[in-house]
């Protein structure tokens, strides 16, 4: 008998558990060659409900180890700042704990960095996400004043190091607290040009998500947009199997599974075109890529209610009705019938042709 694909209805919210239960039962009974695949199509979407995006400010000299669009997990290495070295021979004359605060304007075009020595006692409340005003004192003694209106986007513990060089000038270094070379960073130490004051600093992701890198004139910013998976067909699984009375009963009695989608009491196999969509949505099969498309101005010739045929992408071969039009992005929302129900899909205008 030929294996076909069928739709299973599951308890709401228990799709993943039902899938695991079915796969475990199939393996335990040795039916792997008869019930071969179980799919739960999901898509990865930006979590718009996330309260904030994880942000890391790095220097232009930092080695970026990720790219735009990369997916990362919590703990992944994102970037590495170079080691900080002595610029000129000299003597360390002062070492103090400090706090670095980076403030960004509302339009995100400008930032201002302050390194505040602990002796000046930074005011309380200087935390990421807090807002400050121009003229506002950043220290209790009022010596350091904020010069811009904006939002605090980064704070960090630092060591502020002063070195009096051979030209009798004072060079000031602000280095991350955790990377300081404690063997030489001591008041009174003679240092040579090229000596390392602070080791390279590694920057790790604090959460999982999608990478976005922003370039600025004086820095780079690595953002992590939190993502989540969303079930494309809540309450349903798809199974490839040989169908007979024995296996029909075998699958229906798996915990979490309610029944097959049926007609007249018999499970309905899905069509070959629907199987192709299922494979592409599940990442098992790649969607065909349209041949080279010229970058030209598109004359928008679609109206709501038009009947169109999808000619490329995951839904190739399906016919549907235009429900929404987005001229700005040259996209259409088309209602097609998949697995026996109307489903809205978004397609580019180059992926469809109008049916007169």
Out of 16-30, 78-92, 263-277, pick the least confident. 263-277
Same structural domain for residues 25 and 101? no
Q: Is residue 47 part of a domain?
A: no
Final residue of a domain: which of 191, 208, 225? 225
Same structural domain for residues 220 and 87? yes
CATH number at residue 336: 2.30.30.30
Proportion of the chain above pLDDT 70, given as a percent:
93
- How far apart CA 347 and CA 312 sit, in angstroms, is 9
Same structural domain for residues 196 and 213? yes
Q: Is the dihedral of CA 302, 305, 306, 310 positive or negative?
A: positive
Which pLDDT does position 295 carry in this prediction? 38
Q: Is residue 77 part of a domain?
A: yes
Q: Model confidence over 60-99: pLDDT tens digits?
A: 999 999 998 888 999 999 999 999 999 999 999 999 999 9
Out of 37-51, 96-110, 119-133, 308-322, pick the least confident. 37-51
Which pLDDT does position 296 carry in this prediction? 39
Which pLDDT does position 79 carry in this prediction? 96
Q: Model confidence over 142-155: pLDDT tens digits?
A: 999 999 999 998 89
- How far apart CA 112 and CA 147 sit, in angstroms, is 8
Q: Is residue 277 part of a domain?
A: no
Parent domain of 20: 1-41+232-270
Same structural domain for residues 215 and 237? no
Block residue for tokens 């016919």: 319
Same structural domain for residues 190 and 67? yes
Same structural domain for residues 103 and 202? yes
Q: Is residue 276 part of a domain?
A: no
Which pLDDT does position 293 carry in this prediction? 39
Same structural domain for residues 61 and 111? yes
Same structural domain for residues 181 and 205? yes
Q: How many Cα neighbours within 13 Å face the side chain of 186?
A: 4
Residue 287 has pLDDT above 80, yes or no: no
Number of structural domains (the chain) is: 3
Residue 290 has pLDDT above 50, yes or no: no
CA-based nearest residue to 53, from 134, 148, 133, 151:
151
Q: Is the pTM of this model over 0.85?
A: no
Same structural domain for residues 256 and 293? no
What mean pLDDT comes out for the span 253-278? 91
Q: Is residue 279 part of a domain?
A: no
CATH number at residue 1: 3.30.70.940
Q: Is residue 337 part of a domain?
A: yes
What mean pLDDT comes out for the span 28-52? 82
Same structural domain for residues 107 and 208? yes
Same structural domain for residues 77 and 178? yes
Q: Is residue 342 part of a domain?
A: yes
Same structural domain for residues 175 and 265? no
Report how far apart, in Å, the C-alpha atoms of 108 and of each of 20, 111, 112, 150 are.
Answer: 46, 8, 11, 9
The mean pLDDT value of the chain amounts to 88
Q: Is residue 46 part of a domain?
A: no
Which pLDDT does position 291 carry in this prediction? 44
């Amino acid at each position: 008998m030929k294996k076909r694909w069928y739709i299973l209805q599951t308890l709401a919210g228990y799709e993943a558990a039902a899938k695991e239960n079915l796969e475990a039962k199939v393996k335990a009974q040795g039916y792997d060659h008869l019930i071969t695949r179980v799919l739960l199509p999901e898509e990865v979407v930006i979590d718009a409900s996330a309260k904030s995006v994880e942000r890391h400010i790095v220097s232009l000299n930092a080695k970026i180890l990720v790219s735009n669009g990369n997916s990362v997990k919590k703990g992944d290495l994102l970037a590495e700042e170079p080691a900080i070295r002595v610029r000129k021979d000299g003597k360390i004359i002062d070492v103090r704990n400090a706090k670095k605060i980076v403030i960004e304007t509302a339009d995100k075009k400008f930032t201002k960095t302050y390194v505040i020595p602990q002796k000046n006692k930074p005011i309380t409340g200087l935390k990421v996400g807090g807002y400050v005003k121009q003229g506002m004192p950043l220290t209790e003694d009022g010596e350091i004043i904020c010069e811009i209106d904006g939002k605090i986007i980064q704070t960090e513990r630092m060591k502020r190091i002063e070195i009096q060089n051979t030209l009798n000038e004072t060079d000031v270094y602000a280095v991350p607290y955790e990377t300081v070379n404690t063997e030489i960073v001591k008041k009174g130490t003679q240092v040579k040009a090229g000596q390392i004051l602070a080791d390279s600093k590694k920057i790790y992701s604090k959460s999982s998500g999608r990478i976005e890198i922003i370039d600025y004139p004086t820095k780079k910013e690595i953002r992590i947009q939190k993502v989540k998976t969303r079930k494309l067909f809540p309450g349903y699984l798809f199974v490839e199997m040989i169908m007979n009375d024995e296996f029909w009963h075998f699958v229906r009695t798996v915990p979490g599974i309610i029944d097959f989608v049926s007609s007249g009491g018999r499970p309905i196999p899905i069509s070959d075109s629907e199987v192709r969509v299922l494979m592409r949505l599940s990442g098992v099969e790649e969607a065909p890529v349209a041949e080279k498309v010229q970058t030209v101005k598109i004359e928008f010739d679609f109206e709501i209610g038009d009947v169109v045929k999808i000619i490329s992408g995951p839904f190739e071969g399906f016919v549907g009705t235009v429900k929404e039009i987005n001229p700005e992005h040259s996209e259409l929302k088309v209602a097609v019938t998949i697995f026996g129900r109307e489903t809205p899909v978004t397609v580019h205008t180059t992926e469809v042709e109008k049916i007169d």
